[in-house]
Each structure stands twice: as structure tokens, then as C-alpha cells.
Amino acid sequence: MTRPVAVEDVKREVKILKALKGHENIVHFDNAFEDDSYVYIVMELCEGGELLDRILAKKNSRYSEKDAAVVVRQMLKVAAECHLRGLVHRDMKPENFLFKSTKEDSPLKATDFGLSDFIKPGKKFRDIVGSAYYVAPEVLKRRSGPESDVWSIGVITYILLCGRRPFWDKTEDGIFKEVLRNKPDFRKRPWPSISSSAKDFVKKILVKNPRARLTAAQALSHPWVREGGDASEIPVDISVLYNMRQFVKYSRFKQFALRALASTVNEEELADLKDQFDAIDVDKSGSISIEEMRHALAKDLPWRLKGPRVLEIIQAIDSNTDGLVDFKEFVAATLHIHQMAELDSERWGLRCQAAFSKFDLDGDGYITPDELRMVSSDSHCVHVGSSIHTSCHIILFCAFLLMNGELARLNLDETVHIVLCFQLSGSSYSVNEVIPRVCA
């Protein structure tokens, strides 16, 4: 007798296969049938074998960088598609990727969605699933989401490039401890001979903090993966859509601080956001209209935002009130703050100092309410009401938090609460005067 739970698992997998039907890098689902004893799933025939077999057949079980990038790009496209549909694969490993044919340039196809599941916005999976070598740290902590798929792809990439697993032990418990505690080794051969771009890619994916890890769509914009690829292949990033939805909830003060931070980021660092902007700007006019924004947000299927909400988002991002979103406005609303802070702390400090200087007009190391009145008046970004004294103190505090990397971890309500509790007084404040009170 088939267990009811097993039947539900199969039905869920069929539902998932139907949802993903038509993607070039996912095994094609044809149909499903059932009788009194079994469920039969009819799928595309893949004759090229598993990715694992091809890895083992390579000299030293290694791919060339060029060939590895082609494989990784296809895996990331699968992950990005799943995540836009509110799905997490949860068991990405070489055994679950098949080649369509035996040809060397055969397309790669993802299969085995038995552990996959839909995830509701803002929710996390609490169970531990997947294969030990490829499991993400947050899975072991029972708080995982779409980011765990990207970690698994990072582990596969590490194996493709050097022929070894990044985390290894004789027992499953030992592997889990390695995943939680240690970092991958990039010193042993062949890593010294592998390009800095490839190493940078792996390091930005095998980040233990899921909020600082590249998303699947971001990873597709990385120079190492993108080489030889087409920018049109890069799908809309769920984290970009999420950041835009969040931006509308921020106070004008926090929006203002994010715009100041965005102005410190150079063109090279914005490559992934430029790809995202271009993907949303369908008519290539150089700005995003409300229709283009509505179309992009509709791709994030679990959210299904309604028309009035889309207009609200446009109005929040559109700082010059022309009814459109240009690239500068787009960047301010979609910056990946946690990645910026964690992946390069030294550059983050310099960037925050540069943002701070936009408030500190006389360069004396202090920000005064008068300076903030001038900045907000010039930028037309902040509408200060009748309570000018209180409002400027709030902006002041946001600036201090921005400089110290704290802004991403505080919302306006928390900031106002701290300001009111500490009852800041005087005409000017330095970081040294304020931060000790915050950290107390």
C-alpha cells in the first residue's frame, strides 16, 4: 500500500514540473498517469548521462574554466526560474543534472524535483533536506530559502574547477560541521593557476550569510559566468523586485540616505543592476514606465502585486517626479546593502565615508541640522514638515547609522525610537558621540 504522504510528494512534484514546463534547462514534463497502485510520470529522454559522470570522466575530474562556466550558467538559469516562481529545488547536485545527448555541447537539464517545494513570501523552510556535500549553512540552521540553491551551485562550481569538494569529512555530521565552521581552500593546486575572476565568483557564492550571497540572477551577471553568454539570458532578479517593494515602505529619510549611498557606487560595481534595469526597460528608452514596472513585478509569481501597489512603488522610487524610473533612481531602490557590507568591508567603509561627506558640507567631520536642511532642499528628495528640528535629528541619526554600516539593520521606527530615547541635544554631533549610545 502506497503511503498517503508519498502520494502527496509525487503530486507536488508533478505540479512543480508543470509549472516549469518549457524551460530549456529543465527536463521536459509530458504527462502523468495513475492507476490503483502507481503514478507514472512521462518525461523527456536524456541520453547524455549525469553531470557527475562527466566530471569523473575528465582528466583530474576537472573542467576547463570555459566549459565550467557554460555548465554553471545553465544551472543558474534553472535556479533563477525556480525562484521567480516561488520554488526552491533544495537538492541541487551533479547527479540531478542530465545531459540531453552524448555530444560535448549538449544542453544540461535539471531533474528530480522530489525535495522541491513552493515557499511563501517571507517564510523559511525549517527542515533539513538535501545531500550533505551540497547543503547550505542556513539549511542546517533550519532557516533556509531560495539562497540555498545558489550555495549548492557554488559547491558544484568549486568541484568543476578543482576536482575536489570544498567541505569534506568521513561522516555526515563531520561534513555539516565543516560547512558551518570552515571556509573553502583556495591555496592548494590547481587554485593558484585558476583565474581571479573564477575565484571571485566562487567566493561570492560560497558566503555563509545568505543575505550577503549573490542571487542566481546576480551570479548570471558575473563576468566569469557571463563571458560568451548573452545579456538577454539574464532573468529578472527576485531580490531586485523585493528591494523595490521594500523601498516604498521606507521613510523619506531612509530613502534619502540610500540615494546618497547609491551615488558612491561605480559603474563596474553596478553591472548586475544595469543588466536588471535593461531587462525591465523593455523598449530600451533608458527609463522604466509604469507598464514595464508592472510587467516586471508580475514575474515574481508568489507576490502578484495589484495595479495601485505598482503605482505606489513607481512614485516612491521616482525622486524627480517625472513619472518614470531612470537608472540612478533604480540603483538607489535596489542596492544589495548586505552584500556590499560583507563582501568588501574596507570598500564599504570608504563608501559610507563618501556618503557621509554628502551631508557634511563644510568637511569638518560633523553634520548639523542646517547642513541637512540645505542638502534636502537642494535634492528635492526629502520633504521636511513643520517639525523641522525633530526631522533633522532623525536625518542626522540616519546619516550616522549609514556611515557605520548600521542603516541596513534599522528601520525608521527603530531609529526614531532611539533618537527619542537618547534625547539628543545641541547643534552638531559626531559619530563618536552618538554610536556609543546606540551600542550600549
Catalytic amino acids? 91
Instruction: Give the containing element (helix H, strand E) for 110.
Output: strand 108-110
Closest C-alpha among 351, 361, 353, 363 to residue 400:
353
CA distance 293 to 53: 43
Beta pairing, strands 108-110 & 97-99: antiparallel
**β-bridge partners, 34:** 39
- Are 20 and 82 a contacting pair, CB within 8 Å? yes
Prior bond of 94 cis (ω within 30°): no
Query: 209-223 as b/e, with b when 16 or more CB fall inside 10 Å?
Result: ebebbbbbbbbbbbe
CA distance 406 to 399: 10
Other residues' Cβ atoms within 10 Å of the Cβ of residue 194: 17
CA distance 387 to 317: 24
Other residues' Cβ atoms within 10 Å of the Cβ of residue 199: 17
CA distance 55 to 60: 9
Other residues' Cβ atoms within 10 Å of the Cβ of residue 259: 21
E strand spans, 278-373:
287-288, 325-326
Cα dist from 261 to 204, 362, 408, whole Å: 21, 19, 11
Block residue for cell numbers 522604466: 288
CA distance 373 to 410: 23
Amino acid at 439: C
3-state secondary structure of 228: coil
